[in-house]
Copies of this chain bind each other. A is one copy, B any other.
Amino acid sequence: MNTFDSQSAHALLLQNVGRFIELDETQQNLYLSLFKEKRIRRKDFLLQPGEITRYEYFVVQGALKVYTLDLHGKPHVSMFAIEDYWTGDMASFLTQQPSSYFIEALEDTEVLMISKENWDRLFQIIPAFEQFYRNLYQRSLVSYIQRTNQGISLSAEERYHIFLKKYPFLINRISQKDLAAYLGVTPEYVSMLRNKLSKK
């Protein structure tokens, strides 16, 4: 695992925010100063059930999976996050109630993390960030709603095809087991689907 490259991490974060709002150099430096850096190794956790999450995470390098265990102990993956993605447990972050999610590194991973207090500080100094933040939030809410609707209205096979189309860059980085836990089926069934698809 390499050392954390602050410079390129910061460049990625600024590029991310730059897609929504324009900042001068002073503002950029303020923004960057509000984040902490963190590195975690493959199979380690950023968050575990029962913990109250204080941060939102921006992935600089690596890959994370966010998942919960159901009553039967089976994992359900709610999202994968790679470079340039924001992640976290919105419900626990917002309500400051214990999380029911694991956030686990699939590879050695580097994140930049920011607390609620630092967001609030930022909003006071640079109000334009409220717009950025609301946008971030709304987009994740909307994609959450869409994913839920897919889970409701599509078969596992249809969801598998949509995943392949929408996230082709993820397939090489996640296991079939984790993909199954994301699609909501057994790994055996994914195996069968993949096999069926390759025969066409």
Contacts and interface: CB of A to CB of B under 8 A. Distances in A.
Nearest to A69: B153
A148 B95 CA distance: 18
B71 A154 contact: yes
A138 interface: yes
Interface residues of A, number: 23
Contacts of A100: 149
A72 B142 contact: no
A141 B68 contact: no
Given A149-B68, A149-B100, A91 B141 contact: yes
Contact of A153 (B72, B152, B154): B72
A152 B184 contact: yes
